[in-house]
Amino acid sequence: MKKKSDWKVHLLALVMVIIAEAIGTKSFKLGPGNVLLLPMLYALVIGMFLPSLKLVDRDDMEIASPYIGLSVMFLTAKMGTNIGPNLSKIFSAGPALILQEFGNLGTIFFALPVAVLVFRMGREAIGVSFSNSREGSLAIISDLYGLDSDEGVGVMGGYITGTLFGAIYSGLLAGVIISTGLFHPYALAMAAGTGSASMMAAAMGPTIAAYPEMETELSAFAATSQLLTSVDGLYMSLFMGIPLTEWLYRKLGGKPAAGKSGKEAAK
Amino acid sequence: MKFSQAFRIFVISGILALIGNFIGFKINPIDALPGMVILLILVVAGYAVSRVSPIKLPSIAYISALAIIASIPGVPGADLVVKYVNNVQFLALCTPILSYAGISIGKDMDSFKKQGAKIVVVTLLALTGTYVGSAIIAHLVLKLTGAI
């Protein structure tokens, strides 16, 4: 990193926080439910316009990048203090919390068929479908296939999409799912903990807004699920996610990797 | 990153959250300050432990563990921790994170534009899958075990 002062970055962040919080939370009707727009989403959107307004350059972007991870730690601490008082509730919900971790494999069944059958993607489909494409997923793919491989291109695309739109999309998705009334708020809170702090926060916003009287329990369930994912995510992907994705890819008739036997694509 | 640099960012980030907490939630920064200082102590302690601990785990694992222990009923001071931290709103802590994310987002834009809309659609389907998949299992198991 260059020897450049980071005060501009902090001042910009301050202005973004002030503007975003001053606008405040807005909700509007979309289909069956209410969609919540939260200050954090405005902050992200303001950020997307900064380069075209010539307010930030490459150096500023590089400077700001590690600050994301550092400021996430406050959120982690806050959520931890919600777990302590709710430990007994969490133990009684234990089986659900642990088993819902397998729901993270849902990425494969939602994404892979469309990637292979509709978009005719090659093995990029495996990289983008086996997980929610966060940092850990980059590490796994780079280890197994290399980031220059087709699978690597897929997971990078997923990573960038998630970074850009993941929070916004998670907030909208959670709002829509909440409005269906199909799920208990505890289940929705557990589902929000998928391994990405910003996506979890975005999915929890509308959940807490819809059930404000349950805020501490909901936050505790989300944080515990998040914690579980950070512990088991790597193993889940390595031993279940990747093999399952490879298997389904062959079943769907996906193109074999260059240089591999065509037998894999026989089905 | 040096510890002192990280500490400086923690303090700045905490101040940003206090300001957002005031503007967005009308909570006087004086009232929210004790809670924010508690959070800062937990963050700094967890971060420090992760740097010296022989067990290599991400800082958030240690921070989370410390925060859980500090808030378990019966642990000395736990009631005060919970009471003061309640004055710092969850959503107010999210806004500074996404402000920094917003500032840095431009650097990923170029490589992203080359990939086209397919990858966006498939990624969003994947995100839908993990959320809905987890919600279905959690809901069913909560029902079956009689927790709800």
Instruction: Locate the domains of chain A by residue range.
Output: 72-265
Question: In the predicted model, is pLDDT for residue A259 greater than 50?
Answer: no
Contact list, B78 vs chain A (CB under 8 Å): 84-85
pLDDT number for residue B94: 85
* Helices B90-104 and A39-49, axial angle in degrees (round to 10): 10
Cβ within 8 Å, pair A75-B98: no
Query: Minimal Cα distance from A50: which residue of B?
Result: B103
- Across chain B, which has 148 residues, the per-10-residue mean pLDDT values are 93 96 94 96 95 81 88 93 93 89 78 79 95 95 88
How many residue pairs from chains A and B have C-beta atoms closer than 8 A?
A: 409
Cβ within 8 Å, pair A39-B104: no
Do residues A8 and A66 make contact, with C-beta atoms less than 8 angstroms apart? no
The pair of structure tokens assigned to A168 is 């916004």
Short-list A77, A89, A104, CA closest to A221: A89
Which pLDDT tens digit goes with each residue over A116-135? 999 999 999 999 999 999 87
How far from A206 is each of A34, A76, B60, CA to CA, in Å? 9, 19, 24
Best residue of B134, B139, B144, B148 to probe chain A, by most A CBs closer than 10 Å: B134
A26-30 and A33-37 strand pairing: antiparallel
Question: In the predicted model, is pLDDT for residue A267 greater than 50?
Answer: no
Strands (DSSP E) found in A26-128: 26-30, 33-37
Query: Minimal Cα distance from A46: which residue of B?
Result: B102
Reported ipTM: the value is 0.87
Q: Please provide the average confidence, as pLDDT, over all residues in chain A.
A: 85
DSSP state of A179: H
Minimal C-alpha gap between B2 and chain A (Å): 12
Q: Is A201 on the interface with B (CB under 8 A)?
A: yes
Contact list, A25 vs chain B (CB under 8 Å): 24, 91
